[in-house]
Amino acid sequence: MQVRTQLSSLNQSGLSRHDSDYDHLSDRLSSRGLSVEDVVSQLADFQVAIPSWALGAGGTRFGRFSFYGEPGNLEQKIADVGILHALTQTAGAVSLHIPWDTPTDYAAVRDLAREYQLVFDAINSNTFQDQPGAEHTYKHGSLSATDEGARQQAIDHNLEVIAIGEKLGSKSLTVWLADGTTFPGQRNFQKSLTQTEDSLKQIYAGLPSDWKLYIEYKPYEPNFYSTVIQDWGTSLMLANACGDRAYTLVDLGHHLPNSNIEQIVSTLMLKGKLGGFHFNDSKYGDDDLTVGSIKPYALFLIFSELVYGMRNNPQNPDLAWMIDASHNIKDPLEDLIQSLEAIQEAYAKALLVDQTKLSAAQEAHDVVLCQEILQDAYRTDVRPLVQRARLNRGGALHPLRAYRALGVRDELIRQRGKHTVATGL
């Protein structure tokens, strides 16, 4: 679908309203000494990877309800991300999952991504499912397995994923392990951790010198008694054991209720060890809901720490941003548009925080003023800034409205048919 060419006429009707909203906000912010152009250009530069598994209806273990016209292969997934990027100008990368997305024709896949102005971000391995014909089962663990065959198979799989990523231009591998136990006494904690560390070191040894390894943590699910890489501390410990190019990856849904994620982010950046970030939202656990749909203030506080870290922690590398959500009842593309919007808004608000004033208020122990400074930024309607960043790059003034006006889903159903199933979670 050629979305981009149709946008300028679609944008036309809202432009004068946008201009006056932008000028009004810009006046207010400039009078505070803020460079609005800088904020807009930082927003325009901010790109978030879309994981290939978020493009279909995810479902739950109780059922799955298709949204129709879902991408049935890698090429169609790339096309979907291309549509998202054309509309939002924020989704300039795609994150693949192997073996769900193993390409057959690499050159064609690379060309297709280039055509949509997409790059391949971190590539993900999968040792949480047995693949057809696999010699060893992961039923009792993968990188942590005591069964040497299963462990070696999992290590080899990760090395193969790196090789696939190299052919696509990825520069990082994300490892998320389901390894853990369901019942007390089932396995020896120390042995599991030792095996995992050893396996990760072997994978790290096979990492090209310009690649990074991201180690994702999660407290529970699918195992409900213990998980080997349960928290950021365990992930950081493993990253440190591997070496300089191994980092912790924070997924917003991978924490026990009420965890202070902004503090985790801050600590990791201080230590130069925050590598990647998976956005989603949740009410209870790893709900994988639309970003900003449940706890937008928490997202803003996290972004404030990310912005502080990006400004003050040169020891921390550029972050790999990704949406890790799953859509059960919404059109997945509409849901991703909403997530991208929420991310940009939270980032924009965080960029408005007056860090100098905040620091002075902190020194003076003026707790009330500290809160006022944060909330002044949070309460600002930053949508005109986000819109301007998008327009400057040739995107849609209102991506969701444009998506509907263009009848994208109907067109996809027409092209692909109703009963398609995307591979993924």
Interacting residues toward Mn ion by CB under 5 A: 251, 278, 286, 324
Instruction: Beginning with the edge strand found earlier in the chain, give each strand of the sheet holding 123-124 in spatial order.
Output: 119-120, 93-95, 49-51, 320-323, 274-279, 246-251, 212-216, 172-175, 123-124
Nearest to 241 by CA among 180, 199, 276, 192: 199
Question: Is the Cβ–Cβ distance between 68 and 421 less than 8 Å?
Answer: no
Cα gap 235→365, rounded to integer Å? 34
Query: Which residue number is nearest to ligand LRH in terms of Cβ?
Result: 176
Residue 8: strand pairing partners: none
Answer with the entry of Mn ion, ligand LRH, none that 193 interacts with (C-beta below 5 to 8 A by kind).
none
Cα gap 222→228, rounded to integer Å? 12
Answer with the entry of Mn ion, ligand LRH, none that 281 interacts with (C-beta below 5 to 8 A by kind).
none
Tokens coding 424: 């993924």
> Minimum distance between the CB of residue 254 and ligand LRH, rounded to whole angstroms?
6
Cα gap 340→349, rounded to integer Å? 14
Choose between 289 and 374: whose C-beta lies nearer to ligand LRH: 289
Cα gap 122→129, rounded to integer Å? 20
Question: Given the structure tokens 């290939």, which residue do they identify?
Answer: 52
Cα gap 171→177, rounded to integer Å? 20
In terms of residues, how long is the chain?
Answer: 425
Choose between 251 and 262: whose C-beta lies nearer to Mn ion: 251
In the list 231, 324, 331, 334, the residue contacting ligand LRH (rule: CB under 6 A) is: 324
Answer with the entry of Mn ion, ligand LRH, none that 124 interacts with (C-beta below 5 to 8 A by kind).
ligand LRH
By rule CB under 6 A, what string of x and - marks binding of each residue 225-254 to ligand LRH?
--------------------------x---
For residue 101, state whether it binds ligand LRH (rule: CB under 6 A): no
Nearest to 11 by CA among 87, 90, 117: 87
In the list 77, 85, 218, 349, the residue contacting ligand LRH (rule: CB under 6 A) is: 218
> Minimum distance between the CB of residue 39 and ligand LRH, rounded to whole angstroms?
30
Output the CA torsion sign for 374, 375, 380, 386. Answer: positive
Choose between 286 and 358: whose C-beta lies nearer to ligand LRH: 286
State which of positions 282-311 bind ligand LRH (CB under 6 A): 286
> Minimum distance between the CB of residue 246 and Mn ion, rounded to whole angstroms?
17
For residue 176, state whether it binds ligand LRH (rule: CB under 6 A): yes
For residue 281, state whether it binds ligand LRH (rule: CB under 6 A): no
> Minimum distance between the CB of residue 370 and ligand LRH, rounded to whole angstroms?
33
| Binding residues for ligand LRH (CB under 6 A) | 124, 176, 216, 218, 251, 278, 286, 324, 425
